[in-house]
Structure 1
Amino acid sequence: MAASDEGQSGMDQFRQDNLHCSICTQYFIKPKMLDCLHSFCLKCLQELKAPLDSDQSTRLVCPTCVCETTLSEKGVHGLPDNSTLSALVAESRLQETLKTGQGSDGKCQACDEGNQAVSKCMDCDHLLCGACREAHWELEEVQSHQVYLLPRHRSEEVDNESYEDVPRCKVHEDQFVCLFCNTCMKLVCTICITYEHPQHDLIGLSEACDKGKRGLQELLDEIEKSKGRFAEAIRQTDESRAKLDIAYTETIAKIQKKADDEIAKVTEKAYKMQYEAEKVYMAQVTTMDIVDKTKKKKRGDRQK
């Protein structure tokens, strides 16, 4: 009994540490993942961002690690869903429902037909029979609700996309994944472990998640370094372009000044040459006038 109580205590602590939103301290509802890989309820993130909407902020600060996440034009809704966390929460809530005896009679809580419950809606917090489950798929008001099969019905074939976020084995669809195979780099269920991965390097999901986080963080760190190098290259390019523009402007100014100086010199020389030519011209005209007058005078004297 003591071992059982200790195991239950450990499970309760796991739920509290991993399946509860640190903002509202309740089970995650539609968890969204920030760039730092911390997850929070969609509604909690919306309320966290609400005071920032006055300045049209596109950044959201993580309450856990204070890292910033840049939001897309879709805002908080555009953040990636944490489907694995949603599935773990659904599983835990289903187990609690069975443990506490809620709906222990196995009857649907959404209708009065007394039908056997086969699913549970995590939004309505009701056990559902097949007909009510169908209604959740068809009625627009509740189409977005998260509906999961009860454990004893999970072997049934489920085609509705509402269950796509439940982490199942891709080979054995009626089984949930429980470990990560480092050898094959994929999630595996108990059947896979027995028949396909008997001597492979297997680790727990939390360890695999931490390993993935570390790898992703290393990649993000390298991206940040690359961004820094790229930004520095852009800065140097801009600086070189600015220097080139200044040098070009100064060169054009020097060329224009040189051309203006040369034009001024040529113009001045032309004026001087024109002046000299005019002086010579006038001297020759004067001489010719004198000679002409002298000839006319002599001709007149002879005629007398």
Structure 2
Amino acid sequence: MAEAALHTETTCKIRHVHIECPICLSRFTDPKILDCLHSFCLKCLQELIDKQNPKTDIIICPMCKKETSIPDGGLSGLLSCFFLSSLIDDVINLEGQKEDINPPVLACEGCDEGLEAVSRCVDCDANYCKTCLENHARLKAISHHQIVNAVGSSHVRPKDKDKTETQTCRKHTDQELCFYCDTCELLVCLKCAVFDHRASNHNLSEINDSIRSYRLAVDEALQKFDECRKQFQKVDDSIKHSQRRLQLMVDQALRDIVAKEEEEITKIRNASRHFQERVTQIGQERGKGFESIQSSNHDKISRAEQIVASVNDLMQHADNFELLDLKPKVMHNLDFHKELQFQTVQHSKSFIGFKGHNIVTDADLGEILEEEKWEVKTEFGKEGEGEGEFKFARDLACFSNGDIVVIDSTRCLLSTFTSKGSYKSTGGQSGTEDGKLIQPFGFTVTSDDLLLVTDGQDVKVYDRELRYIRQFRPTQNQVEGQAKSLLRGISVDNKDRIAVADCKRKVISLHNMDGSIISTIHHDDISSDCFLSISSKERLVFTHFGKMNLVCVDFIGNEVFNISTSIDGKPVTPYGVFCDDAGDIYVSVYCGGWGINEIHHYDASGEHIGCVARGLYAPLDMTFTPTGDLIVADRHSVKVLHRL
């Protein structure tokens, strides 16, 4: 019964998936193959032509709409799909077995009554009813004979059909096909080879050699398709990134518009609504453009995968002779990879912003920014040792209320300023001995406004008032003979996971807020001037001053990219690095002198987008404010840049 169930399930699946014509939805009758590798009944194709145009010389596939030329002899001249015909025969055999699960009734060979045999004597090879069997045993004294149940002993499964059976030549019907002519792309027999294909320009090979070469060619074509699929994935990831960034920028622009509306609520309500609609419209139009390109790329890869699926199905199920018959069409269909070109999107189209005007009328609320440009909005601080002055402003961070805190690594202190640059307070030199900064380098702010500072071997924690709270040491268990740790860059993500770079031990350690370690990543490009940032994509991005490169690794340590930083092909030295909410990367670079340095913009995959700011004195690290401004530690001052 289990075997019967298996047959029923298998034949049902085959019937519905493989051997039903897509036009008549019945089993194939004389199946023919079109150039697109789809198969249909000959009668169905003829009816299709009669309905469309009986005089046409092409037939359009009803499934994929691809055209196939009709041979001079009509539709019957199309290649027959022998493997489908063979598959139908196999299904019929299986269904016959299903119906023949109960063995036939066997007649007794010992009497003339035609009674049903219930047992068989194996030694005598005869079937007997119960009465005759007893008489047979007494007469022959065959109690030692082996007696078995006759029912079920005669059921023999049919032999499976051999897919590799030989075929005869159509021209010389007494000859087996044994060669393949690559020049004529035909299977030939020995007589054909001697009389019709013996010229020097005919390339004959044995069938096994030809099928081996054929399969290699198919494998190479499929490998090229895999390369196309990888290229598609790269382009698709880039489009998705631009879509995410566009949405973030649209959201930020809408928030800016609402903020300006609240400032001038009585005058700007109508204009505000207009700008919101326009920003949304631009976002939708560009988003539709992204979706259209993405949809086009998906369609291309989908059509290609359909062809590959058809080829793979053919390669698995067809026999060698049919494969060689179909070789021209298969290889022609596999040439699609040459035409697979995936469209990309302009990264600049993912930007949209809003600039409010100082003097507002009912018709002049501001302007929509469709291209990303930056300018210095505010600058504060100067060289010195007084309040609000800096000897070496190396790093900075921003609290949730917009206050800016700057670290002066030469003076070993922290200073807090308002969002407009007014000095508020200083910390890091007073309080307990543990709270004093000795060798500060980098720092960052958590979601609840705790300030984390790397200081030698320790990470020190301060509150918003710059009061010391505690500290932890990322490398607590020193190994004898191992270099003493020296902490440099530090960053925290939106889940308050802390990443710390140790330039002596060449590791980046990932921690929870309590200091417990999550993982440790080793990388040779962690330098003594290593600035570090965590991307929203759960990646670590850091710079190497000496090698002039920008490195990105995931949380496991796999390298995502490692690129040289340059301007017009000339290497430049990277310093600070910061990732925005969309995953884009901003890098400060030293161009060879004071006052000529820049900040560059990269996308999440490491592609250079453009220059954000030029003419900076000596930009080191940077961060973003809650309102989207970019603040830069420029050695002796702090500059606040905003989008124009």
What is the TM-score normalised by the length of structure 1? 0.37
| Higher strand proportion | 2
Q: Larger C-alpha radius of gyration, 1 or 2?
A: 1
TM-score, normalised via structure 2 length: 0.19
